[in-house]
Amino acid sequence: MRLLVLGLLGLAGCSYYEQPRFTSDQRLGGVTVSAATLNRGAAGFMRACRPCHGALGDGRGPQAVGMDPPPRDLRLGVVSYASVPAGSLWRDEDVIRIVRSGLAGTGMRAWTEVPDDELVAIVQFVKTLSPRFRDERPGDPITASPDPWVGRETDGAARGRVVYHGLGRCQSCHPAYASLAEVQAFARDAGVQIEPRPHPDQPAEVRSDFGRTLRATDFRAGPLRAVRPGSRAQDLYRAIAAGLGGTAMPTWKGALAEADLWALVHYVDALDRGQDVATAP
């Protein structure tokens, strides 16, 4: 009897969420979206996304309880692992890529069964959840330059080890994978100051815009959330160069030379694979 009642409630809920809610077209992110598209997207969102992200997109759906990390609050207009500078409005292709591929180590699985046209409609509806899309346009995508370390990946990783602990000071949040003496030498050579923290071999808890602190990634332990098997280098470059929206991970594009950005890609890749990286003499 209980299962029957739950089933009837579920059918009633689906019927409710299928009801049209948009009676006119909407201007979102500088583009006019039809009411028909938004109504289809709303129905798809309520069926597939609401259980975790909530009907309001606040990340408090009925299945979100106990999820670590919790589902993202979509009302902010930012997502991590987007192609735009951290804090900018995401682009359609960013959400589509994340939905299709999922995020390792989270409750966000890869959604491959949603038809392409329905997913596009869902993405348009998600924009209505954030007021930013009414006044702003999505950020310009950050594009990757050619990898200068092709064929010399070991050298790139070695350079990345220096940049990570020196100029980039990545160990401020992520673990240090070098001794204190090495870190001090890398920082001195780069002309930067380092601020030692307790337990530098452990990831730090860092601020976020999602209502909670987040633990920075330990690249030896993983997982690398948005790195796909067939595009590891490109996905790592995007995360490092663009930064992670809503988190303390800044945009490094323009702050580091392109060769150093790619060096970090190869160093993080080597760490994730469990490879030892020696600093070039």
Strand partners, 27: 32
The tokens describing 191, both together, are: 């002309």
Q: Say how far apart CA 269 and CA 275 lie, in whole Å.
A: 9
Q: With bands split at pLDDT 50, 70 and 90, how would you rate the model's confidence at 156?
A: very high
Say if CB 84 and CB 164 are below 8 A apart.
Answer: no
Cα–Cα distance, 195 to 54 (Å, whole number) = 40
pTM of the model: 0.90
Q: Are 199 and 175 in contact (CB under 8 A)?
A: no
Q: What is the pLDDT of residues 161-183, one digit of tens each?
A: 999 999 999 999 999 999 999 99
- Of the CA atoms within 13 Å of residue 107, those in its CB half-sphere come to 17
Of these ranges, 1-5, 33-37, 68-72, the one predicted with the greatest mean pLDDT is 33-37
Q: Determine the pLDDT at residue 107.
A: 93
Question: What is the amino acid identity at position 54?
Answer: G
Contact 223, 105 (CB under 8 A): yes
SS3 sequence of the chain? CHHHHHHHHHHHHHHHHCCCCCCCCEEECCEEECHHHHHHHHHHHHHHCHHHHCCCCCCCCCCCCCCCCCCCCHHHCCCCCCCCCCCCCCCHHHHHHHHHHCCCCCCCCCCCCCCHHHHHHHHHHHHCCCCHHHHCCCCCCCCCCCCCCCCCHHHHHHHHHHHHHCCCCHHHCCCCCCCHHHHHHHHHHHCCCCCCCCCCCCCCEECECCCCCEECCCCCCCCCCCCCHHHHHHHHHHHHHHCCCCECCCCCECCECHHHHHHHHHHHHHHHCCCCCCCCC
Q: Which domains does the chain have, with CATH numbers?
A: 24-135 (1.10.760.10), 153-272 (1.10.760)
pLDDT reported for residue 196: 87
**pLDDT tens column, 219-263:** 999 899 999 999 999 999 999 999 999 999 999 999 999 999 999
Question: Is residue 15 pLDDT above 90, yes or no?
Answer: no
> What is the rounded CA–CA span in Å between residue 180 and residue 133?
45
Residue 182 CB neighbours (<10 A):
16
Cα 8 to Cα 12: distance, rounded to the nearest angstrom = 6
